[in-house]
Structure 1
Amino acid sequence: MNKFLLAVHVLAAIVAVGPVTVAASMFPPAARRALRAPQDEGAAGTLRLLHRICRVYALVGVVVPVFGFATASGMGVLGSAWLIVSIGLTALAAAVLAALVLPAQSALVEGREANPARLAMFTGMFNLLWATVTVLMIVRPGSTTGA
């Protein structure tokens, strides 16, 4: 059962977090282009599409920690330091996405004042947090179960 839960956890991370990471990274340059050409409907459409991808896959991404907890529980590693740090970083990444990235994207899509450079910084923070969690999940420092 643990292998099944782990497989679903990893697949969910790839399928859900991957698109958010890519779309969020593409958004700031697309926003700069849209701000340079405010009458360009194609640029505005690109922003709407990228923002929708981020919102939808962020919601789908909720299954990643759900299956992660189930996997960790089955493996008996819920108290491991590497997992606790990963959980904290995952929560922080979710907070950055929900409180900083998505609202700034919404503002730009709706034509309200927002700074694409600041959004790029928040997006970079989100991506760095996820990259760190990914490394921790692979390396599992101090783990006796592999790696």
Structure 2
Amino acid sequence: MTKFLLAVHVLAAIVAIGPITVAASMFPPSARKVLAEPGNAQAVSTVRLLHRICRVYAAVAVVVPVFGFATASNMGVLGDTWLIVSIALTALAAVVLIALVLPGQAAFAEGGWDAGGGEVAVGRKTTVRLAMFTGVFNLLWATVTILMIVRPGSTTGA
């Protein structure tokens, strides 16, 4: 059963978190293209699609910690330090995604830029901040992935 739970956990992480990291990383440059070319309908469609990918896969990603807890429970490692650190980093990554990345993307994707000569609600500064938050999110997930592979104190010899 542990192998099944671990396989589902790893597959869910790849299938759910992978698209978020890629789409979120692509969003700021695409948003800057919208700012540079406000009339470019394809660029606008791209940022909306990237935001939708992040939103949908964020919802799907809930299964990753669910199967992670089930796997850890089956393995008897719920109290191990590496797992507690991984859980804390995962929670922090979720907060960064939900509180910083997705709302920033939504504000931009909903047309917060200016296509004419008026005031700009979101501009280049927003895309820079969004790129930073996305980088933090990606770094947190990379750290969790490394902890899951290395597992300090593991008996796998890795």
TM band (smaller chain):
over 0.9
| SS of alignment partner, residue 108 of structure 1 | helix
Corresponding position: 1:121 with 2:120: no
**Which structure's CA Rg is the greater one?**
2
| SS of alignment partner, residue 78 of structure 1 | coil
1:68, distance to aligned residue in structure 2 (A):
0.1
Q: RMSD of the TM alignment (CA)?
A: 0.9
Q: 1:66 to 1:95 in 2, by over 3 A?
A: same
1:141, distance to aligned residue in structure 2 (A):
1.2
Which amino acid is the alignment partner of residue 15 of structure 2?
V
1:139, distance to aligned residue in structure 2 (A):
0.2
Gaps of 5+ in 2: 113-120
Question: 1:122-145: per-residue Cα shift (whole Å, max 9, x none)?
Answer: 000000000000000000112335
1:99, distance to aligned residue in structure 2 (A):
0.2
Corresponding residue number in structure 1 for 2:115: none
Structure 1: how far apart are the matches of 2:148 and 2:61?
16
Corresponding residue number in structure 2 for 1:134: 145
Structure 1: how far apart are the matches of 2:70 and 2:94?
19
Which amino acid is the alignment partner of residue 26 of structure 2?
M
Gaps of 5+ in 1: none
TM-score by length of 1: 0.97
TM-score by length of 2: 0.91
| SS of alignment partner, residue 53 of structure 2 | helix
Structure 1: how far apart are the matches of 2:145 and 2:110?
33
Paired-residue identity, %: 76
